[in-house]
Structure 1
Amino acid sequence: MAGLFQSLRDKLDRSVVVESVEMCDIRFPTSLEAHGSDAMHSDPDYSAAYVIVTGGEWTGHGFSFTLGRGTQVVVEGIKALAPLVKGVPLLDIFCNFSTFWRKLTSESQLRWLGPETGAIHLSVAAVINALWDLWGKVEDKPVWKLLSDMSPEEIISLVDFRYLSNVITKEEAVSMLQSKIAGRAEQEKQLQSSGFPAYTTSAAWLGYSEEQLKTLCNAALKDGFRSFKIKVGQDLSDDVRRCKIVRDVIGWNCDLMMDANQRWEVDEAVHNMQQLAEFKPVWIEEPTSPDDVLGNAQITEQLKPLAIGVASGESANNRVMFKQFLQAGAMDFCQIDATRVGGVNENIAIILMAAKHGVPVCPHAGGVGLCEMVQHLAMFNHICVASSNKQIIEYVTHLHEHMVDPVTVTNGNYQLPSKPGYSSEIKKESRDMYRYPDGTFWKKFNN
């Protein structure tokens, strides 16, 4: 692994340490226009538990995504983790990243709040994402390129394989990655030329009117989208009505996905999807509890005759949950999230397990900054790992104007990001305006 680590040592020595870890609560008032509304979350305010890590001449930005109330809990978790990060040489972090990741997730008192689960794990994700943004800037590469230029052994050194060895070993993972090396250049060239396919959710939030639904679907068609997702789950008769509206606009040559956001019981999910099968959905996303591995497996099996897949993962707490879903055949589409599990490192583990099981990775990207970050993971997967050609990334139109390096989608395809880092920095003026509770926007409500 001399290549990667030698490059780091050429730029850093052990005197370059994490000097500061800053954090804040940023909330955007998306609930005012029903953006993000679904069967379980009627009034989301897209928010970020935000972290800024400084080391030497570099600054890394990262965050975990939340829906407003509760963001302060994740920020408090970041404060609790900060002493484990401050003063640590950057070389010690990046050259032993799986060890450092375990240090954050295994702190003996903090882990009691939920080992690799819950708010504290979201806090870990925010810190880890900020460190990856910083590493990309040290190497002057976007994170997808930083990862795609690594050797198989270097990639594997990033992953904590604890609890995974009964499904995938380090040796198996190295072999999988080695088998893809010869095709990396061609895969990257293809992404540079054509981009990465996206599906849009922006048209179909449950709080939108029928007129909005039609207008936004038509606009997405004109923008080149050929895959659409609609929210379902609140009322079956209304689901039928809204799905008919969408199909009438997009026709039958476009793909349609559905998302119940955990609303249904297991048998209810099967029954309702039998009623919605006439609209030929590619998948039903989160049909029931995201923790119910066996329930999701039952739904997956019973929907097979209807050619409807089950998509899940955006709310899964950690790689062990993904392991069980994949082992049980409980997901046909693996939906990683850039901030739900413990950041980039844990998502690499999930990507590897999905590839071994032949399950396509189709990342969740609704929410502020999620499109920006998760595109890096999807593109790394496409270049270095993927065993399926059915990969696709979610896209929403909201809040990109607040990002320093906003996502670019052309003709329904993500374009490769080119700026160094993880595309995770929110503009300072936006942070100052929407910082909660003392930003200029929120002060109006809190005085």
Structure 2
Amino acid sequence: MVQEHQAPDFRSVDPIVQAEILLVDIPAKFPRQDAIQPFLKQETPMVRLTTRDGVVGVGYTYTLGTGGTGLCRLLADTLAPQLIGADARAAEALWWRLNRSMNSISPGIATSLALAAVDMAVWDIRCQLAGMPLHLMVGGAHQRLPLYDTEGGWLNIDDDALVANAVSARERGFHGFKVKVGRALAEDLRRLRKVRDVLPDTMQMMIDANQIFTQGEAIYRAAAYAAAGAAWFEEPLPASDVHGHALLRASTAMPIAVGETLQNPHVFREYMQQDACSIVQVDAARVGGITPWLKVAHMAEAFNLSVAPHYLMELHVSLACAVPNAGWIEHIPQLDALLSSPLMMSPDGYAVPPAKPGLGIDWCWPTIETLKSAEGVVR
């Protein structure tokens, strides 16, 4: 006898009944500078969603010092009202509805950043309702991933401090160390050689130009950087120059890493189709949230490309551990001031995803309450 099929016993809809918008400023721990701009503070718009049954989901986004209040207005005026009564389990439908509601200004960095905060909060609720941590909910490909340190390699750090930071990263177990480039070539090479000399062969040295070079300059410098031991060349050209990246990629054996400022999966598709990158550095905040991040990561897998997400290590450890083609987690501990406990790092330099249901980011709400500069509630 064929048994009657029994539908899964999904719990009833637990709609969102409240959306809170907060803005928290986090000063940089020390003066930071890349080839384009200083990094003085992180503006951190946050979204806290509450369901009828009391499940709370938290999402966040960021700017490097400008535009945070505008993002909060976009969240409070346009996105938050549409969340009331919504079912957070339907993350895909919610993302598309919210995106369409901003069609006249989308795609764009402001809409992507605002959408990201909402989408993260929705996924936080979704995972909690399912009783699963994010990395298992969306894939569960890895139990841990190697960390590389960016915090010690900023362009404004002098040679002695740069070398000391590289030694510290080595002693703390990191598997890679990233150095910002964009000074005169001779200066860049001097710094890179000093760093490479204190790192073991098993530890990689990455470089990041933050979009400063023209196509010809990047092609010329790539050979010198590769000879100095660089493991990848990150953001060598403006992100809009897909063709230039393709020409650079064809000119060097050194992997080309891009993606931290790309705002939607369609642009990533252009990079992949034109063979313009080797490593995909998709950023969940700048691409519009977890929902599009996963699309980009799986698209990269189809092109046999690795993913090494930019920044947001507390979230990206879970997303990267979900997909088979992820290779690295970037260490910049900017959120530490807002957390009760930091990202879990094993003694041998691996990032470990949180095990509790939800996104697993351990927010310190008393501290957030003291640091917030704006807030609003939508019911």
Partner of 2:277: 331
Tell me the equivalent position of 1:412.
349
Instruction: Establish whether residue 58 from structure 1 lines up as the match of residue 7 from structure 2.
Output: no
C-alpha deviations, 1:286-324, integer Å up to 9, x for none? 101112111111111112xxx211000111010001111
Map Cα deviations across residues 14-35 of structure 1 (whole Å, 9 max, x no partner): 3x211111112111110x6124
Aligned partner (choices 66, 71, 74) of residue 71 of structure 2: 74
In the alignment, is the contact (CA less than 8 A) between 2:113 and 2:285 conserved in 1? yes
Aligned residues of 1:231 and 1:260 also touching (Cα < 8 A): yes
Asked whether the equivalents of residues 280 and 300 of structure 2 are also in contact (C-alpha less than 8 Å), the reply is: yes
> Which has the larger share of strand?
2
Contact 2:147 2:349 in 1 (8 A): yes
Equivalent residue for 2:221?
272
CA contact (8 A) 2:26 2:337 kept: no
**Separation in 1 of the partners of 2:161 and 2:127?**
39
2:113 counterpart SS class: helix
How many equivalent residue pairs? 367
Within 1, Cα distance between the matches of 2:301 and 2:318? 17
User: Does the Cα contact within 8 Å between 1:64 and 1:125 map onto a contact in 2?
Assistant: yes
Letter aligned with residue 114 of structure 2 = S
Q: Residues 71-220 of structure 1 correspond to what in structure 2 (within 5 A)?
A: 71-79=68-76, 80-88=78-86, 90=87, 93-94=88-89, 96-107=90-101, 110-113=102-105, 115-148=106-139, 188=142, 191=143, 195-220=144-169
Partner of 1:434: 371
Matched to 2:249, the amino acid is T
Distance in 2 between the 1:81 and 1:234 partners? 42
Q: Counterpart of 1:290? A: 239
In the alignment, the residues of structure 2 paired with residue 27 and residue 254 of structure 1 have an alpha-carbon distance, to the nearest angstrom, of 34
Mark the runs of 5 or more structure 1 residues left unpaired by the alignment.
Answer: 149-183, 439-447
Counterpart in the other structure of 2:304: 358
> Aligned equivalents of 1:353 and 1:39: distance in 2?
30
What residue number does 1:20 align with?
Answer: 18
TM-score scaled by structure 1?
Answer: 0.78
For residues 381-409 of structure 1, what are the alpha-carbon distances to aligned partners after superposition, in whole Å with 9 as ceiling and x for unaligned? 03xxx3xxx71121124442522453111
Q: Is the 8 A contact 1:61 1:129 kept in 2?
A: yes
User: How far has the Cα of 1:65 moved from its partner?
Assistant: 1.9
Q: CA–CA distance in 1 between the matches of 2:240 and 2:83?
A: 31
Contact 2:259/2:281, CA 8 A, preserved across alignment: yes
For normalisation by structure 2, the TM-score amounts to: 0.91
- CA contact 1:42–1:207 (8 Å) conserved in 2: no
Judging changes above 3 Å, is the alpha-carbon distance between structure 1 residues 69 and 255 closer, same or farther for their aligned structure 2 residues?
Answer: same
CA–CA distance in 2 between the matches of 1:239 and 1:276? 8
RMSD across aligned positions (CA): 2.1
1:246 aligns to 2:195 (yes or no): yes
Question: Which secondary structure does the structure 1 equivalent of 2:112 belong to?
Answer: helix
Gaps of 5+ in 2: none
Task: State the SS of the aligned residue for 1:43.
Answer: strand
Q: CA deviation at 1:263?
A: 0.8
Give secondary structure in 2 for the equivalent of 1:432: helix
- Is residue 20–residue 47 contact of structure 2 (8 Å, CA) maintained in 1? yes
Residue in 2 that maps onto 1:313: 259
**Distance in 2 between residues matched to 1:118 and 1:282, nearest whole Å:** 29
Deviation, structure 1 residue 437: 6.5
Q: Distance in 2 between matches of 1:345 and 1:269?
A: 33
Cα distance in 1, alignment partners of residues 291 and 345 from structure 2: 26
SS in 1 for 2:60: strand
Change in 2 beyond 3 A, CA 1:401/1:140: farther
Of 26, 42, 45, the residue aligned with 2:41 is 45
Take 2:74 and 2:56, find their aligned partners in 1: how far apart are those partners?
21
- The SS at the match of 2:39 is coil
Change (3 A) 1:433 1:246: farther
Measure how far apart 1:282 and its partner are: 1.5
Same amino acid, percent of matched pairs: 27
The answer on whether the counterparts of 1:335 and 1:361 sit within 8 Å (CA) in structure 2 is: yes
- The SS at the match of 2:262 is coil
How many angstroms does 1:73 deviate by? 1.6
For the 8 Å contact 2:47–2:121, the answer to whether it is kept is yes
Corresponding residue for residue 328 of structure 2: 392
**Are 1:33 and 2:30 an aligned pair?**
yes
Q: Residue deviations 1:54-90, cap 9 Å, x none?
A: 11211011111211221112111211211111122x2
CA distance in 2, matches of 1:398, 1:347: 21
The structural deviation recorded for 1:341 is 1.0
Task: Give the number of the structure whose residues are more often helix, by fraction.
Answer: 1
